Structure 1
């Protein structure tokens, strides 16, 4: 991915970069943000490299590197994860499909369940064609059958980990519980809630990606590729955290099975 970004040939619309908290001044300062007319004549555009650097320089609340330590699998031995973006048609769907694929490859499906939702959705909607095609081409994954579903307050309690695609989504999830006038939470409960609601970029293994934003919306082909590659990195970091707890459970099950077998034979 680095070589493509460094080439400066990948382009994304300025409006998309705006969602990544970018600005013309910042692009010029990086020396590579020459604004040019889009090929289709729709107006100025910027390189995906510039957009990525804008992601890297963002300093938002809740976007510090993920702390060390393993994630403990719940007592029922099933860890439930929910990805959240605005529309549940774009970036959260990509993350759900990628993490599910990584889980299946590691044979963790018994222990980790993954879903996605959105806070402003048209229930039953399907992912845009460009996202479907990009996932088929880059990851050999089919997301055509996905149907958008709306995030509800009960989801916040149901899942052990809620991974938001950008800070705005995280704020919406937190507000759904903390900002609800009918909900009273202790300071301790609020802290627990904030600990379980994360931003995906916190799990990226590449330090420069740990401030990345993956907002819902339209992506140009090149920017879509950068986003997918970055989400893959984040999901790899996430599953490495989860794997420690899962491996402990698997070893425990194996030991219990051996003990039961020995007890029966005696």
Structure 2
């Protein structure tokens, strides 16, 4: 069997957006029968929350939609850029921070903004819901559900 497609989602602290993306994507690939062909992880550009579960507000919002967010926060590493086939960042600052690990620009083509894969929403970034209210977490999940469908199509074509 071929090696799985390796997908990494990245946000700032790895406690809201990227673990939610990991949970939404994991549920989608399981539903579509790709669970054994896609390895999904998440990380943050900062390590403040390393080892912690996702933010309780994000877990509650995700759980209400049937998603399990049980991964533990970790900080992105330079090795991640070599090991993953696609690194999806949530906003332009994440993009800048992750590209800083890629000093020779050899991984430039695999580091992309998540919202490039959205088809139903016009946002160019997934906004950080940390300092806002419940609506922010719901918007994040709306964007993630939209974009993850596009990501799966991208992966399907890469695996074909």
Gaps of 5+ in 1: 1-74, 179-184, 249-266
Q: How many residues align?
A: 159
TM-score if structure 1 supplies the norm length?
Answer: 0.56
Gaps of 5+ in 2: none
Bigger radius of gyration, 1 or 2?
A: 1
Confirm whether residue 195 of structure 1 aligns to residue 109 of structure 2. Answer: yes
Partner of 2:51: 124
Pairing partner for 1:133 from 23, 37, 60: 60
Partner of 2:28: 102
Which structure dedicates a bigger proportion of its chain to helix?
1
Give the conservation status (yes or no) of the 8 Å contact 1:167–1:213. no
- Counterpart CA distance in 1 for 2:58 and 2:126 is 17
Partner of 1:17: none
SS in 2 for 1:88: coil
After superposition, the CA RMSD in angstroms is 1.7
Deviation per residue, 1:67-103 (Å, 9 max, x gap): xxxxxxxx94311010001101110011000011110
- Counterpart CA distance in 2 for 1:93 and 1:219 is 18
SS in 2 for 1:244: helix
SS in 2 for 1:80: strand
Q: How does 1:146-225 map to 2 (within 5 A)?
A: 146-178=71-103, 185=104, 190=105, 192-206=106-120, 208-209=122-123, 211-215=124-128, 217-225=130-138
SS in 1 for 2:122: helix
- Counterpart CA distance in 1 for 2:32 and 2:24 is 13
Q: How does 1:55-134 map to 2 (within 5 A)?
A: 76-121=2-47, 122-134=49-61
Deviating above 6 A after TM superposition, structure 1's stretches of 4 or more consecutive aligned residues are: none
